[in-house]
Every structure is written in structure tokens, then in C-alpha cells.
Amino acid sequence: MEEGTGLIVPAIVAGLLLACLGYEVERRRSRLRRVFGILDRDELKLVGHLDAMVETGEIQAWSQHG
């Protein structure tokens, strides 16, 4: 067995651990966004455009009570 092959297994394990960690972080962020209604960057842009359209009178703001 060559000297370099002893580093392959730990490198693969470390890579798998980092991938699992990244997946878990993204999963939890997604869950928190669903629970707390946090908007991501694209949704914030859309809300900004809608707010601008309401201010210019192109559309009316929706209200529950009419």
C-alpha cells in the first residue's frame, strides 16, 4: 500500500460529513422559513415591486375587511 492511499479514506469521510452538515443546515433553514414566514432574497424583490406598484396606484393593496 502506498503512503498516499492512507489519506484517501479520511478525506472521503470528511467530505461526506461536510455534505451531510450542509444538507442539514439547508433543511433547518428551510423549515425555519416555513415556520416563521421569513422571505428569501427573491421574495423580497417581489414584495418590493408590489409595494412600488401600490404606491404608484397601479394596483390596490388587499385588505381583509374590504
Residue 4 has pLDDT above 70, yes or no: no
Residue 49 lies in a domain: yes
pLDDT band, very low/low/confident/very high, at 66 (cuts 50, 70, 90): low
Structural domains of the chain, count: 1
Residue 65 lies inside a defined structural domain of this protein: no
User: Is the whole model's pTM more than 0.75, yes or no?
Assistant: no
Place of cell 432574497: 41
Provide the sign of the torsion angle of the four alpha carbons 42, 45, 49, 54, taken in this order: positive
SS3 47: helix
Summarised one tens digit per residue, pLDDT across range 11-63 is 999 999 999 999 999 999 989 888 887 777 888 899 999 999 999 999 888 87
